[in-house]
Amino acid sequence: MPNSKRTLESILALDIIRTLIGANTIEISRLSTAITLLIKAGIPFDVAFTPGTRRTAAAATLTVFINPTTTLGFTFQFQEGTLPG
């Protein structure tokens, strides 16, 4: 991945990613778009989903792997409320 840093910088500059980073809640379609961009760019990532309960909001955690020692982690809520964990 010689261009992974440049590709990641390009993705982080996209409006959809900046919207996700600044949002309190997220629509599933926006998270799906971000995942699609990561796949197209060949950037490794993990996604974990935690369903909501009466006490916590439904949420997804997106972890983007920059290199073996550096990751970016984002937790997105699908509704207002307390985050799980």
Q: What is the pTM of this model?
A: 0.74
pLDDT at 85 over 80: no
Nearest to 47 by CA among 30, 57, 59: 59
Residue 9 C-alpha from the chain's centroid: 14
How far apart are alpha carbons 21 and 1 in whole angstroms? 25
**Per residue in 51-66, pLDDT tens?**
988 888 888 999 988 8
pLDDT at position 3 is 62
**Per residue in 12-39, pLDDT tens?**
777 777 777 777 677 888 888 889 988 8
- Each domain of the chain, given as residue ranges in start order, spans 4-77
pLDDT at position 84 is 58
Q: Which residue has the higher pLDDT, 83 or 45?
A: 45
Whole-number percent of the chain with pLDDT over 90: 8
